[in-house]
Structure 1
Amino acid sequence: MAGVDFFERDLKLATADLEPEAINAMLAKFAKNSVREVISSGRASGTYERYVNGRQGVPEETVQAPGPIIYEFSLWEPIITFALDELRRRSPIKSGRFRGSFIVLANQREVRDYNAIGPDAEVIITNFQPYVRKAENGLLGAKRYSIFDGTKRALASRFGNEGRNAAAFMFETRWLDVRAGVHPGMPYVLKRAQGRRKDRQAGMQITYPAVVINQV
């Protein structure tokens, strides 16, 4: 707390003889320089939302002291990388094909630049192989529900509300319908019936187990 007190005292002394417009300009310049520094140092993503006096997206120069100016950075890259590593680690290893078939969707579109994903996006990680359901159900060597559901639990422990990360994320396991056009191999259509369930008859599209991530 002492450091904060000294900073506030120095700020008051530095702006004591300035007009309000000059104080606003100084605050805007300080904010812009600070965000540029943390991005260039690699400590934060270049994707962020800016709030100035509670208004989203307006320029720093519109600030009215004492502000605040808040930057909400995208934290997707480390979370998605962790999820993919965990999914691959838990996957069957017979040929390696399944391990190489995970895809990341943001708002129903495949993405590879995770830092470009906005903070309000819903991120889905699934696998485009037609036997993905068998894998999650424990029929291909991995334990039942250990791939996607196990990864969800690992994510919640590392990055969720009870984790050490400052941001809070919600992690779910869902079985999803995937529309045509998302990926060339999806959705897979059953060529013959698999049991008596209505959703497993010939001509039906399969559902895909997935880890679904939202920032809250």
Structure 2
Amino acid sequence: MATGFEFFERDLKVATAGLEPEAISRELAKFAKEELAKAIAGGSSPQYERFVNGRLGAVEESVVAPGPILYVFSNWPLVINAALAELQKRAPRRSGRFASSFIVVVGGQIVSEFSAIPADAEVLITNFQPYVRKAEVGRLGIPKRRLFDGTKNVMARRFREAFRFETRFLNVGGGVHPMMPYILKGSGPIRLAAQNAKSAAFRAGRAVLAGRKDTAAGQPITYPAIVINMV
């Protein structure tokens, strides 16, 4: 069965029969730009990379027939919406507030127009609620690492040919969202030290483990996030 590319090649040969090579190249450039405009009007991302005779960024008019002219579109809307849907599906559901609090951050700014994200951008997806870290470590009624890390694993399998995914705990500065960063008002939970010679706390004469700096009062929390890059 013929593919769209085969039909295009056949139609181009018919349309340019008898033309000089320079004229064929002009027709190829014109056709490519027309098809690009149709693709964007039909919903494709306006962010793309253009390859002309294998040269990144070259203009269509520089093509030497038979080309090719290749457009590589950014599929950020597809992958980001898929990740958000998976996160919301896995989120705690008591009030729905947490599930509606995921944000997409690019370059330190929240974005909502995903089709405008550059192809080479690094995309972060996190949640601005102050208890987000509790959700990831298994303290809000969902299994440990099921939310962000679990979503990362699903996305990595689905989009492994085009995108790279990882999970990180991020330090988020002011200016990203009014509720971020959240400053801890109390110290973390007290953890009893093992009472044997293998425990450094026991050998130091302590009954409890030393508190972690990132759970101490006055410290900003770190935010679990999915970090996405194009391959």
Name the TM-score class by shorter chain.
0.7 to 0.9
TM-score for both structures, normalised by structure 1: 0.87
Whether 2:45 is the aligned partner of 1:30: answer no
Q: Match of 2:105, as an amino acid?
A: L
Check 1:6–1:215 CA distance in 2 against 1; reply closer, same or farther (3 A cut): closer
Q: Within 1, Cα distance between the matches of 2:7 and 2:213?
A: 69
Counterpart in the other structure of 2:165: 171
Report the alpha carbon displacement of residue 198 of structure 1 after superposing the two structures with TM.
1.8
Structure 2 SS opposite 1:92: coil
SS in 2 for 1:89: helix
Query: How much does 1:7 deviate?
Result: 5.9
| C-alpha distance in structure 1 between counterparts of 2:98 and 2:6, whole Å | 55
Q: Helix, strand or coil: the match of 1:173?
A: strand
Q: Please name the residue that 2:41 is paired with.
A: 40
CA distance in 1, matches of 2:55, 2:37: 20
The corresponding residue for 2:227 is 212
- Aligned Cα root-mean-square deviation (Å): 2.1
Q: Higher Cα Rg: structure 1 or 2?
A: 2
* Separation in structure 1 between the aligned mates of residue 225 and residue 80 of structure 2, nearest angstrom: 13
Report SS of the residue matched to 2:28.
helix
- The whole-number CA distance in structure 2 between the counterparts of 1:5 and 1:131 is 54
Match of 1:192 among 186, 205, 209: 186
Unmatched runs of 5 consecutive residues or more in structure 1: 162-167
Distance 1:97 1:14, change over 3 A: closer
Question: Which SS does the other structure have where 1:182 is aligned?
Answer: coil
Report matched runs for 1:112-131 at 5 Å: 112-131=112-131
Cα distance in 2 between the residues matched to 1:8 and 1:190: 63
Unaligned residue ranges in structure 2 (runs of 5+): 190-210
What amino acid does structure 2 have at the position aligned with 1:190?
L
Q: Letter of the aligned partner of 1:194 in structure 2?
A: G
Give the Cα–Cα distance (whole angstroms) in 1 for the partners of residues 220 and 85 of structure 2. Answer: 28
Residue type of the alignment partner of 1:191 = K
Superposition map of 1:76-87 within 5 A: 76-87=76-87
Listed one character per residue, the Cα deviations across residues 21-61 of structure 1 (whole Å, up to 9, x for unaligned) are 2111111011112222222233x222222222333333211
Does the alignment pair 1:20 with 2:29?
no
Matched with 1:164 is none
